[in-house]
Structure 1
Amino acid sequence: MEPILTISNLTKKFGYLTAVKDLTFTINKGNVYGILGPNGSGKSTTLGIVLNVVNKTAGDFKWFDGTVSTHDALKRVGAIIERPNFYPYMTAYQNLKLVCKIKGVDYKNIDEKLDIVGLLDRKDHKFKTYSLGMKQRLAIASALLNDPEILILDEPTNGLDPQGIHQIRGIIKKIASEGTTILLASHLLDEVEKVCSHVVVLRKGERLYSGRVDEMISSHGFFELKCEDNKRLIRQLENDSTFGIIKEENGLITAFLNEPLEASEFNKLLFESGIVLSHLVKRKESLEDQFLKLTDNN
């Protein structure tokens, strides 16, 4: 695996507040990474540090193989970490020409990037006439002008309507399929599950999980259960090593599996123990279930 960004024991304090705490993870080439966490978990601060707009308190980070300066490395990075900010009375094409001048990039890239984000037919329309979703797509086109090796997006679908969200996610997948590494920060579990191959879960600035999304949700699932005597059923489950976390809410028991177990086999075992279920459903854990388990005790 070829590393693009390596973060080692990164810490950022704002006075008494620790926004990022001893954070370590690596972004490898060719994947879509999600930094997942609720608002205030340190996602934007982490991105700000590696993009040189926020100073770190402790720890370190290095771009690529570590032999290039951050200034030179950022020429190979595309990023959107704030709301798109273009000149309202200039067209999309004129705005991107200005970005090309600033980045020292040839104008010939503009049409190609507008086509990627689905705005080529609107290139001569003024920015002020664009919807919020179109503005966000233009910002992505702008970030792609220097053909970056990694594209960094902070909450890319924030504030968009369902159609806008769908379009942005489709664009992210398309860019990734062409070999660009992507790092996006999001508080939306659904977004990370649908778009990302890897995830780093943050809570109060600390890393709770780092790895593949499919490995995070490749558990054995869980049962939803009800019977006339839930207390007896819970005792039975607690004495069985097949089960891990067991919860009861509004009369419904949720029992997470530590190992494979079919619903029919489980039902039979309970029946033989004198427990008759009135409700039995086996479900696969979603990223949300795993996220809630990770953050439950934090």
Structure 2
Amino acid sequence: MKTILSIKNLNKRFGSLQAVKNVSLDIQKGNVYGILGPNGSGKSTTLGIVLNVVNKTSGEYSWFGGTMQTHEALKKVGAIIERPNFYPYMTARENLELVCKIKGINNVKVHEKLELVGLLERENSKFSTFSLGMKQRLAIASALLNDPEILILDEPTNGLDPQGIHQIRDIIKLIASQGTTILLASHLLDEVEKVCSHVLILRKGEVLYSGRVDGMSSNEGFFELQCEDSSNLKAALLQHPAVDKITEENGKVLVYLKTPLEASKLNRYLFEKNISLNHLVKRKNSLEEQFLELTNNK
């Protein structure tokens, strides 16, 4: 699969603050990547570095397998990393035609991109009359005028109402379905879960997780147990080599694992120690539980 962007051990320091610490990520063609983390986690700084607007302290990144210089590669990249900035007295169409003129792109794409973001009916309306969501959709249309191989979005739904958020997410999914690779930064787990195939989770500039979104919760599981003698149960569990830690919640013992363990094998192990369970359920952490555990405990 073609590598669009490769980031290796990227670091950025602002004085005493290390905003990005050893971040590595490979972005393959055709996927939707999310950089997820709380505000101040280094998401925007990472995007700024690869877009050549922030200088890195150390580390490397290369576009399209390193076959071209960054300034040439960026001609194949569409990006929105700040609030939309168009002329308020000009119409949607006029603003996009101006972008085409500046970038040396044929105007023929304007109609197609306005239709893609659902603004064709408002093509002759002035930008000043647009809602925040419509302004964001026009910005996406603008970033797509050169048919980029990758679209980069920094907090694309920030400040939007629920309808605006829904529209932007639908547009992102539509763009991805047409084969454009997408990289978006967000502090919203819900956003990444709904639109991304892969995620890089950052906290204070450090990578906490990198991989498929559905892989975040698939490897993590825990047992929910209950029996008459919980003290004996806990003592036996702590002796099992697969058990990482145990906690109690609402009268049930929660068992977290460090290596995979089948429910039947755990049940047999406890039965051999004369512990009879009246409740045994294997549960998986939700993506939200995983995210909170990662970002709160590190």
TM-score calculated relative to the size of structure 1: 0.89
Q: 1:215 corresponds to which residue?
A: 215
Deviation at 1:209, TM superposition (A): 2.0
Map of 2:35 onto structure 1: 35
Structure 2: which amino acid aligns with 1:189?
L
Instruction: Please state if 1:244 is matched with 2:264.
Output: no
Q: Residue deviations 1:164-185, cap 9 Å, x none?
A: 2221111111111111000011
* Aligned-partner SS, 1:68: coil
Render the CA deviation track for 1:198-228: whole Å, top value 9, x for unaligned. 1111121111222222222212533345667
Deviation, 1:287, is: 2.1
**Secondary structure of 2:209's aligned partner:** strand
Q: Distance in 1 between matches of 2:254 and 2:128?
A: 51
Residues 6, 93 of structure 1: CA spacing in aligned structure 2 closer, same or farther, 3 A cutoff?
Answer: same
Offset at 1:282?
4.0
1:138 is matched with 138
- Aligned to 1:60, the other structure's residue is in SS state strand
Residue 234 of structure 1, CA deviation: 3.4
| Counterparts of residues 169-208 of structure 1 (less than 5 Å) | 169-208=169-208
Alignment of 1:4-19 (within 5 A): 4-19=4-19
Whether the 8 Å contact between 2:31 and 2:197 is mirrored in structure 1 is yes
Secondary structure at the aligned position of 2:240 is classed as coil
Distance 2:254 2:101 in 1: 58
- One-letter code of the match for 1:142? S
Letter in 1 for 2:6: T
Range with bigger deviation, 203-212 or 69-78? 203-212
1:255 Cα deviation (Å)?
A: 2.6
Pair 1:119 & 2:158 matched: no
Calculate the aligned-residue CA RMSD, in Å.
Answer: 2.4
- The corresponding residue for 2:285 is 285
1:259, CA displacement in angstroms? 2.4
Deviation at 1:246, TM superposition (A): 3.0
**What 5-or-longer segments of structure 2 have no aligned partner?**
none
Cα distance in 1 for residues equivalent to 2:3 and 2:166: 29
Deviations 1:140-159 (A, max 9, x none): 11110110000001111112
Query: Against the structure 1 CA distance between its residues 225 and 160, is the aligned structure 2 distance closer, same or farther, given a 3 Å change threshold?
Result: farther
Q: CA 1:120–1:218 in 2, change beyond 3 Å: closer, same or farther?
A: same
Determine if contact 1:233/1:275 at 8 Å carries over to the other structure.
Answer: no
Number of the residue aligned with 2:262:
261
Distance 1:270 1:8, change over 3 A: same
CA distance 1:8–1:268, shift in 2 (3 Å): closer
- The verdict on how the C-alpha distance between 1:166 and 1:233 changes in structure 2, with shifts beyond 3 A counting, is farther
Name the residue aligned to 2:74.
74
Give identity over the alignment, percent: 69
